[in-house]
Structure 1
Amino acid sequence: MRKHTPFSISPNPVLLYLTDALEAALFRIRYTVDHRQGLSVVLGDVGVGKTSLIRYAHAELDARDDVTSILIPTPNFNSEYAFIQAVAQAVELPPRRSVQQHQRELEALLGAEYMADKAVVLFIDEAQKLSTQMLELVRSFLNFETDDAKLIQVVLAGQLELRDRLHTKKMRALFSRIVSPTILAPLSLSETERMIQYRCTYYKIPNPFPVLTLQRVYQLAAGIARDVLRICDVSYQMIQIMKIAEAPVGVVDQAYADLQLQDEREQEAVAV
């Protein structure tokens, strides 16, 4: 029987604690889709929750009868042809020999879906990995439109380097099409506390992190959600080994040191 940890860093939508910032980002994604506005962008540092948010939104939209939702979790394509072929396959179009053929058939399909009052949404996580040519292809998708609606809705999620690229002269045309931007920031202390309590409530376990301990977790993780969960997970393992119910601050410090891959001598040097 598979076991689950309360503090897993896997991007399970069920485990996502929706902060005000994440709720706002979801609203913007829904708005873009429902009003057929085209391009939404979610940016942020590593570990702030972009992937969890994208998977949450994808699962929500994919459950709707009037939406076809496509998720590309890691766009490791070696060419723009491979990229558009993956998109075409996701909507069950046959393989073609060129990018242009794929574009024509994709536009025809999107037009048919629009006439049937169905939205097609393309989520691309780790979008900073897209080449300039692939981002230009995304821009071309957004040219599929009627007088008042985009035929495909695109959500790009990426690290802040994507923002820097979008600000360049080459990307000006794509940048100008962004209608719903979101930049995710680290959690506040109160959001961190509520996130951990949400996990404990979901798994029906007592919260093993007293107030002072959780404050230390927040300090060490600098509010980065993934790092908060990593520290809590290792700390949770340690208190189970020690057979104690709550994690003291010292356990959190040890967990953090372990995650830095420090040996005992390095830990002692840091302490001095």
Structure 2
Amino acid sequence: MSESPPFTLDFNQYSPDWDRLGVVVPPFTIEADPRFMYLSTETRRALSKVSYMVEAGQGASVIVGEIGTGKTTLASWFHSRYDRRPDFTAAKIDEAPKKSGLLLLRRIAAEFGLRTRRATEDQLNEFRAFLVEESERGVLPLIIVDEAHELSPEQFVELRRLLNFRDPRGGKAYQLILLGRPELDINLRESPDFNDRVATRSSLDPLTPDDTKSLIEYRLLAAGRDSKQSVLFTDEAVLPIWRETRGYPRSICLLCLHLCLEFLTHDNLTQIDAPFVNEFLEQHDDYRRAPG
């Protein structure tokens, strides 16, 4: 009796047929990608305020929002925008080291390609020389800190000391954007010396049903879907999506990703409508959880 050939899994057979959605890349990735950043009214307001403060050399800007409201995507957008400009150099800290002010300074220095020092004063001197040199070249350094609600009082002290640096013309020698959960506001009140130096504050709240619809449409267009094609998600499908996700952008994208994958398993469907969404939620209420 001959042995059966070993079973092999053809991964191409199980790859989603994104062409059927009319897109060239997956439209609902939950990774922070500036290409897919939907500009809601609040996001536009935050971008406008913070961009003005950065370019006017006003110092520190703060953006707060709950988990899933788009802070990390916004941080990536600011970094991408300003690091490409010849009059700026940008460093992004995705997650600050715990507690230590020196470790934070060392992380920032490493992002700018500077030498890291073992003593706080030596590291500040390294920064001072760098900032003066950049100022002479007409370049303004920008530091972006995501998850800034985890910063300690000691770290706010060191950031304040950096904000005290001045360029030869008397302006602030570098700009700072902090993004974090609402606890960031509480932490700032406990660091009044730094809090007094914040030039602008913005908040990111969950989306409205109308913005939820616009986010879905924008994502599909950004992924390559032709605007002349019939809508993929009907207007009636948006409300159950919004109710399920409570308007949080990351949750919207995760649910829409699963809806698209489920849609692609049905050859006879042309749209994702409200009954389809409701049936999916009834049958797959655990779609957020990894298999046990």
TM-score (norm 2): 0.83
Between 131-140 and 57-66, the greater mean CA deviation after superposition: 131-140
Measure the CA separation in 2 of the matches of 1:260 and 1:229: 12
CA contact 2:92–2:143 (8 Å) conserved in 1? yes
Measure the CA separation in 2 of the matches of 1:181 and 1:224: 20
Q: Is 2:183 aligned against 1:161?
A: yes
Letter matched to residue 270 of structure 2: A
Deviation at 1:110, TM superposition (A): 0.7
Q: Is 2:216 aligned against 1:192?
A: no
What does 1:233-272 align with in structure 2 at a 5 Å threshold? 233-243=257-267, 244-253=269-278, 254-255=280-281, 257-261=285-289
Computed over aligned residues only, the root mean square deviation of the Cα atoms, in angstroms, reads 2.2
CA contact 2:97–2:103 (8 Å) conserved in 1? no
Tell me what 2:161 maps to. Answer: 140
CA contact 2:69–2:205 (8 Å) conserved in 1? yes
The verdict on how the C-alpha distance between 1:36 and 1:189 changes in structure 2, with shifts beyond 3 A counting, is same
Tell me what 1:270 maps to. Answer: none
Deviation at 1:140, TM superposition (A): 1.3
Measure the CA separation in 1 of the matches of 2:224 and 2:116: 48
Deviation at 1:66, TM superposition (A): 0.8
SS in 1 for 2:157: helix
Tell me what 1:266 maps to. Answer: none
* Unaligned ranges ≥5, structure 1: 264-272
Measure the CA separation in 1 of the matches of 2:289 and 2:52: 44
1:66 to 78, 87, 98: 87
* Unaligned ranges ≥5, structure 2: 1-11, 16-23
Tell me what 2:9 maps to. Answer: none
Q: Which has the higher Rg, Structure 1 or Structure 2?
A: 2
Measure the CA separation in 2 of the matches of 1:91 and 1:203: 32
Letter matched to residue 223 of structure 1: G
Measure the CA separation in 1 of the matches of 2:202 and 2:27: 28
SS in 2 for 1:139: helix
The verdict on how the C-alpha distance between 1:24 and 1:85 changes in structure 2, with shifts beyond 3 A counting, is same
CA contact 2:64–2:203 (8 Å) conserved in 1? yes
The verdict on how the C-alpha distance between 1:190 and 1:88 changes in structure 2, with shifts beyond 3 A counting, is same
Q: Is 2:233 aligned against 1:209?
A: yes
Tell me what 2:152 maps to. Answer: 131
Deviation at 1:200, TM superposition (A): 1.3
What does 1:78-97 align with in structure 2 at a 5 Å threshold? 79-97=100-118
Tell me what 1:218 maps to. Answer: 242
Deviation by residue 1:90-129 (Cα, 9 ceiling, x = unmatched): 2222222201100012012112212322100000001112
SS in 1 for 2:285: helix
CA contact 2:54–2:175 (8 Å) conserved in 1? yes
The verdict on how the C-alpha distance between 1:204 and 1:130 changes in structure 2, with shifts beyond 3 A counting, is same
Higher helix proportion, which one? 1
The verdict on how the C-alpha distance between 1:34 and 1:259 changes in structure 2, with shifts beyond 3 A counting, is same
CA contact 1:33–1:119 (8 Å) conserved in 2? no
SS in 1 for 2:206: coil
SS in 2 for 1:179: strand
Measure the CA separation in 1 of the matches of 2:51 and 2:197: 17
Measure the CA separation in 2 of the matches of 1:57 and 1:113: 19
Deviation at 1:250, TM superposition (A): 4.1
Q: State the percentage of identical aligned residues.
A: 25
TM-score (norm 1): 0.89
Question: Aligned pair count?
Answer: 261
